[in-house]
Structure 1
Amino acid sequence: MSASDKIQNAAEDLKGKATEAVGKATNDDSKVAEGQAEQRSASAKKAGENVKDVFKR
């Protein structure tokens, strides 16, 4: 996993957490769901990159 991929995934995860927090603060269920989806996407990308790293060795 390259450093730029790690940074992008971390940024997407943080954006998702922020979106979820805003949704919870404003009682906006769609924002909460959107934030959770962004976090899941970042986690899936991270897992995919980890699998690629294993096969590079």
Structure 2
Amino acid sequence: MTDYQKLLNTITQLKAEMDKFRPLDQTQVKLLEQQIRLEHVWSSNVIEGSALSMNETRQF
């Protein structure tokens, strides 16, 4: 089995595990969107030189 095939098998297995949690209800979707937004804002701030932690960013 090639490295590519091993990687593809791993991805397929992980996707199958993730699919067990679908569909997400609206509360879960909203929480996931908020977390993604927080991580995006925090990482953008870090790139711009901000020293705020993730928790400090969350407070805004």
Q: TM-score, normalised on structure 2?
A: 0.47
Q: TM-score, normalised on structure 1?
A: 0.49
Structure that is richer in helix per residue: 1
Q: Which structure ranks higher in relative contact order (CA pairs < 8 Å, sequence separation ≥ 6)?
A: 1
